[in-house]
Amino acid sequence: MAEKVTIATVARHAQVSRQTVSNVINAPQLVRPETRQRVQDAIVALGYRANQAARQMRTGRSRLIAVRIEPTRDGINGTVLDRFLHGLTETAEASGYRVMLYTAPDVDREIAAYGDLLSAYELDGFVITGTDHGDPRTAWLAEREIPFVTFGRPWDHPHAHSWVDVDGAAGTAEATAHLVTAGHHRTGFIGWPAGSGVGDDRRAGWRRALLDAGMDPDGLDVQTEDGIAEGARAARELLGRPVPPSALVCASDSLALGALQTLRSAGTAVPVIGFDDTPVAAAVGLSSVSQPLGDAAARCVDLLTDLLDGPHRDPRQVLLRPALVLRHPA
Amino acid sequence: MAEKVTIATVARHAQVSRQTVSNVINAPQLVRPETRQRVQDAIVALGYRANQAARQMRTGRSRLIAVRIEPTRDGINGTVLDRFLHGLTETAEASGYRVMLYTAPDVDREIAAYGDLLSAYELDGFVITGTDHGDPRTAWLAEREIPFVTFGRPWDHPHAHSWVDVDGAAGTAEATAHLVTAGHHRTGFIGWPAGSGVGDDRRAGWRRALLDAGMDPDGLDVQTEDGIAEGARAARELLGRPVPPSALVCASDSLALGALQTLRSAGTAVPVIGFDDTPVAAAVGLSSVSQPLGDAAARCVDLLTDLLDGPHRDPRQVLLRPALVLRHPA
DNA sequence: TTGTATGCGTTATCAG
DNA sequence: CTGATAACGCATACAA
């Protein structure tokens, strides 16, 4: 174990008082350049790093951000979190923060965990993923004035707090427009049941794109739960209609993959575009709408540190544009 | 923000000294049951949680474990880390530890990060993933007597330190045996170039299973880098041989997926079994060898806390058996 | 069994 | 601009 080098070691080495060292670190403008340089040299020479625990005791701030790692849902969409987490960690490091993980089986237990996290580690803030309509977690945090940013919009109150999100409607609209441009006059949509903010948003994009192109979306979409089997079933239903669609946009890669299976076994050449650009999509050559997860994570950290630096800043919102990734099925 | 409740608050509430409260928490046997109960009631009533920063200053231990989150490699195999991380967080929580994330673009920078992490946060230990032959990271940590556990064997020195790993050879052997039992007399293998511990191990399992069944593995395998395109090419090569294999075991799902593409377009009914049981495998109905990642993570935490509780315990090793997941391709 | 005193490394306050 | 001193919350010797 390396020798412990504290602020006192540095002070001795640089022939100044402990306080001067602290000033060099936290308020450099108070120290004469000459002295400052001597201290900084000593810091480098000794490899000094401020002890966070001691600093935290004094300042009450831990430079720690908490993120929940979810219990890997269906696996195929679950990989989104992975990339997001990496981006988060990377950006946080650059801003002098660290990411701490926690888990919770449900929302109630997650809120209980906040208490633990907050009183034991004095976390500076939270990044909350996967928010839903009237999310009790954000309410709990807001009530206690604990800084947080969500990845995902609060659909009911768009300006309630800081958030970062990806413009799903823009994504499906672009996918739809691409198919329209390619000459498809009947582009269908397989999406989730109405009521989920994310799902409604993605459907709205498809609808808007068709209307913009002067086409009628009616009778071209179907609502189903997420899943490969569900996607396959939905595609069968659409194909069985009197005037079937000639192309498909789906609300998720799972649905798209299922649709692809149906189409393949039916021998129909109907192009499909999925959503999320999961590894599965890349593997089977499925075109998909890709979320800029690295950017999203970076902006989450930006917004959160912004809140942390000035406690009473107004919340800010960031909406990112996804990208359409075109592939050729094998 | 909730009122700060310290050990003093509890002491006042329970009509005892601060010291008694500390004893109830850290050495309950020293306190009379009656008093102990009163203090514990006060703790619950006030929702007291020990402040980790203060505790750490005193004890030098942070109850923090560091794990690197990797920059999502090829996406298809990268999802392994995700599940592992979740298991790690969950088990660590149960043992009173928290997981802190860090990233590093390469090994040198990772080692540099250790210094930061250690001196700033006084981390208790590390979980290192993806070790390689003669890994400099483990050497660095061992030299400084910093507790760590690796997920992955140190192939050159099997007992150098504590580790958890999955028995890859057992996995490919089981897959091979399954195919042999199903009546296949020529089961081929697509694996990585010799030299990587993991790859050699998986190949060895296939080889052993064939020999055990009295079959000759010679001329039935091919070595290639990992990847879907590489798997497809390798499968083409195998099928072009004078006496082609009638079934295939692969060192990864990526390779297996590629092989599957080749076989499908060739119209050949050759079963393929992959490795890692990634979401992609599940999606396309590919049989695969599944690593017990949750267990592995749990054992990592066990081994690490073991090291932490008794600093000079002997290192321990855990080898877990993977499971063969059989599926029917769509 | 309980209370008292001390220090962990840092930063904030205030006097020089 | 610099230096002394107190305090953050906890745990540990030691005394009572």
With respect to residue B6, please indicate whether it lies within any of the assigned structural domains. Answer: no
pLDDT of residue A260: 92
Q: Which residues of A touch B278 (CB under 8 A)?
A: 279
> What residue of A is the nearest CA neighbor of B121?
A52
Confidence of residue B322 (pLDDT cuts 50, 70, 90): very high
Q: Which nucleotide is nearest to B51 (CA to C1')?
A: D9
**β-strand B323-325 against B287-290: which pairing, if any?**
antiparallel
**Alpha-carbon gap, residue A98 to B70, rounded angstroms:** 15
Cβ–Cβ < 8 Å for B288, B279: no
Q: Could you tell me the distance in Å between the CA of residue B65 and the C1' of nucleotide C6?
A: 30
- Are B112 and B136 within one domain? yes
**Alpha-carbon gap, residue A131 to A140, rounded angstroms:** 13
How would you list the strands of the sheet with B187-191, edge to edge?
B221-223, B187-191, B247-250, B272-275, B287-290, B323-325
Mean pLDDT of B185-190: 97
- Are B112 and B149 within one domain? yes
Kindly report the nearest CA distance between residue B289 and chain A, in angstroms: 16
Within 7 A of a protein CB, which nucleotides of strand D? Answer: 1-5, 7-13
Q: B242 lies in which domain range?
A: 168-290
Q: Could you tell me the distance in Å between the CA of residue B35 and the C1' of nucleotide D16?
A: 19
Provide the terminal-to-terminal Cα distance of chain B, rounded to the nearest Å: 55
Instruction: Write the Ramachandran bin of B284: left for phi over 0, alpha for psi from -120 to 50, otherwise beta.
Output: alpha
What stretches in chain A show pLDDT beneath 50? 1, 76
- Are A96 and A146 within one domain? yes
> What residue of A is the nearest CA neighbor of B329?
A261
More confident residue, A288 or B311: A288
> What letter represents residue A208's amino acid?
R
pLDDT tens digits, residue range B52-66?
999 998 888 899 999
Residue A314 burial (C-beta neighbours within 10 Å; 0-12, 13-18, 19+): exposed
Q: Could you tell me the distance in Å between the CA of residue A307 and the C1' of nucleotide D4?
A: 35
Tokens 């450099």 identify what position? A28
Tokens 């000593």 identify what position? A42
- Nearest of A148, A161, A153 to residue A197 by alpha carbon: A153
Q: Which residues of B touch A257 (CB under 8 A)?
A: 283
Interface residue of A98, A111, A252 to substitute, partner B, most B CBs within 10 Å: A98
- Are A161 and A302 within one domain? yes
- Residue closest to sugar C1' of C7 by CA: B58
For B218, which DSSP code?
A: T
- Are B267 and B281 within one domain? yes
For chain A, the domain total comes to: 2
With respect to residue A34, please indicate whether it lies within any of the assigned structural domains. Answer: no
pLDDT of residue B1: 44
Cβ–Cβ < 8 Å for A246, A272: no
Interchain CB distance below 8 Å, B82 and A78: yes
- Residue closest to sugar C1' of C1 by CA: B31
Assess whether B120 (CB) lies less than 7 A from strand C.
no
**β-strand B221-223 against A221-223: which pairing, if any?**
unpaired
Interchain CB distance below 8 Å, A53 and B57: yes
Q: Closest to A86 (Cβ–Cβ): which among B72, B76, B100? A: B72
> What angle in degrees, to the nearest 10, is found between the helix axes of A79-94 and A293-309?
40
- Burial state string for B284-321 with b = 16 or more CB within 10 A and e = fewer than 16: bebbbbbbbbbbbbbbbbbbbbbbbeeeeeeebbbebe
- Are B129 and B190 within one domain? no
With respect to residue B178, please indicate whether it lies within any of the assigned structural domains. Answer: yes
Structure tokens at B277: 């049981």
pLDDT of residue A1: 44
- Are A203 and A241 within one domain? yes
- Are A124 and A175 within one domain? no
Kindly report the nearest CA distance between residue B16 and chain A, in angstroms: 22
Q: At A178, which CATH number?
A: 3.40.50.2300
pLDDT of residue A76: 45
Q: How far is CA B264 from the centre of its chain?
A: 33
Kindly report the nearest CA distance between residue A70 and chain B, in angstroms: 7
- Are A258 and A122 within one domain? no
- Are A308 and A280 within one domain? no
Structure tokens at A123: 């976390």
With respect to residue A2, please indicate whether it lies within any of the assigned structural domains. Answer: no
pLDDT tens digits, residue range B86-140?
999 999 999 999 999 999 999 999 999 999 899 899 899 999 988 877 889 999 9
Assess whether A7 (CB) lies less than 7 A from strand C.
yes
Q: Which residues of A touch B75 (CB under 8 A)?
A: 79, 279, 282
**H-helix segments, B95-227:** 107-121, 136-143, 168-181, 197-212
With respect to residue A82, please indicate whether it lies within any of the assigned structural domains. Answer: yes
Confidence of residue B311 (pLDDT cuts 50, 70, 90): low
- Are A113 and A201 within one domain? no
Per the prediction, chain B carries an average pLDDT of 90
Provide the terminal-to-terminal Cα distance of chain A, rounded to the nearest Å: 55
Residues 6+ apart with CB under 8 A from B307: B125, B147, B148, B149, B162, B313, B315
Angle (CA) A34-A19-A4 rounded to 5° is: 100
Q: How far is CA A111 from the centre of its chain?
A: 20
Residues 225-284 of A with CB under 7 A from strand D: none
With respect to residue B132, please indicate whether it lies within any of the assigned structural domains. Answer: yes
Above 60 in pLDDT, residue B78?
no
Cβ–Cβ < 8 Å for B290, B192: no
- Residue closest to sugar C1' of D2 by CA: A20
Cβ–Cβ < 8 Å for A301, A91: yes
Sign of CA dihedral A261, B234, B77, A89: negative
**Alpha-carbon gap, residue B241 to B107, rounded angstroms:** 41
- Nearest of B55, B57, B52, B11 to residue B35 by alpha carbon: B11
Q: Which nucleotide is nearest to A22 (CA to C1')?
A: C11
Kindly report the nearest CA distance between residue A52 and chain B, in angstroms: 5
pLDDT of residue B76: 46
- Are A160 and A298 within one domain? yes
With respect to residue A185, please indicate whether it lies within any of the assigned structural domains. Answer: yes
With respect to residue B144, please indicate whether it lies within any of the assigned structural domains. Answer: yes
Structure tokens at B88: 């790690």
